[in-house]
Amino acid sequence: MKRIQHLTAALLATAALSVAATAAAQGFPNRPIKIIVNSPAGGGNDFIARTIAQKMEASMKQPVIVDNKPGAGGIIASDFVAKSPADGYTILFNGPLIVQTAALYSKLPYDPLKDFTPLTDVIRTPLWLAVNTEKLPVKDMKEFVAYAKANPGKITYGSVGSGSSHHLYGYRVGDATGTELLHVPYKGGAPAMVALVSGEVNAAFADYVSLKPHVASGKVRLLGVTGTQRPALTPDVPTFSELGFKGFESYGWGALFLPAKTPADVVQRLHAEVAAAIKAPDVAAKFTDVGFELGGTPPAQFATIVQNDYTRWTTLIKQVGVKLD
């Protein structure tokens, strides 16, 4: 009899929790929401997050606050969100770095797969390989490879940091062509772009937001682009797949994550709000004008993308042998 009573009490408690969670979801949101960004104010991630936050705020009738928590390769921001209540009021904005750090560091204070619920990608973007036109007088990838073979160890390429997509794509180019390219890491996209334009480095992988004014001025030339198809903004630049390179098909993304175990109703509500914000004509124009593709992928589908990128990047990082601790 006591066993039955205990079982009944446990079932009632579970039911009560379920009812409470459903009630909370139905009343969501009833207070401000925070989007935690893993980089400083004024950068690309901040621009994307604030653009979306403004639309969500108008639609959800609650303040949506962008809170920048840069540092430690995004770990500070990710850890903060991973340890926040799973109620939908704390959201992380991050990129592939959230899964790349798993291979870059021996220990993390969270699990990038188990401790988050992927919500959706806000934007997707390929990366372009650009060269300084004065320092590297090549017009296409064929000439780039020929120059690298004729001048071993003399081509330098900048990145936003060791283990980043920008670094790893450069490694792939060197590995695929049997050439020696020297990696020069910088603390972020802005200093890496300054280095490219000034000629401190010969080449760099970068997004079009950063490259656009320098392409227009003729200071840099685009040789190839990652992804599966040529972006509309650079129709004359071939994809690496077209050029015969393998492993350059993935896209970078700026995405939103929730703490694990966030109620499904809350996840779906937030996804609907974010997807609507992305599709708003003014927001879509802001993003596409700077070379971004629009996201809004459903949570389950985006979770698969995150898992695949986790496998892709951790495998390559281990192959390269990068460790940051």
Per-residue tens of pLDDT for the chain, all 325 residues: 544 455 444 444 444 344 444 444 568 999 999 999 988 887 788 899 999 999 999 999 999 999 999 888 789 999 999 999 999 999 999 999 899 999 999 899 999 999 999 999 999 999 999 999 999 999 999 999 999 999 999 999 999 888 889 999 999 999 999 999 999 998 777 889 999 999 999 999 998 888 999 999 999 999 999 999 999 889 999 999 999 999 898 889 999 999 999 999 999 999 999 999 999 999 999 999 888 999 999 999 999 999 999 999 999 898 888 888 7
What local confidence, expressed as pLDDT, does residue 72 receive?
A: 83
What local confidence, expressed as pLDDT, does residue 191 receive?
A: 87
What local confidence, expressed as pLDDT, does residue 57 receive?
A: 96
CA neighbor of 117 nearest in space, from 74, 87, 73, 72: 87
Structure token digits, residue 95: 């990129």
What is d(CA 32, CA 34) in angstroms, rounded to the nearest whole number?
Answer: 7
What local confidence, expressed as pLDDT, does residue 17 receive?
A: 41
What is d(CA 272, CA 132) in angstroms, rounded to the nearest whole number?
Answer: 42
Reported as half-sphere exposure (CB side, CA atoms, 13 A), residue 169 has a value of 31
Helix (H) or strand (E) holding 305: helix 299-320
| Cα dihedral value 25, 304, 319, 293, nearest 10 | -90
What local confidence, expressed as pLDDT, does residue 25 receive?
A: 53
**What is the distance, to the nearest Å, from the Cα of residue 39 to the centroid of all Cα atoms in its chain?**
12
What local confidence, expressed as pLDDT, does residue 269 receive?
A: 97
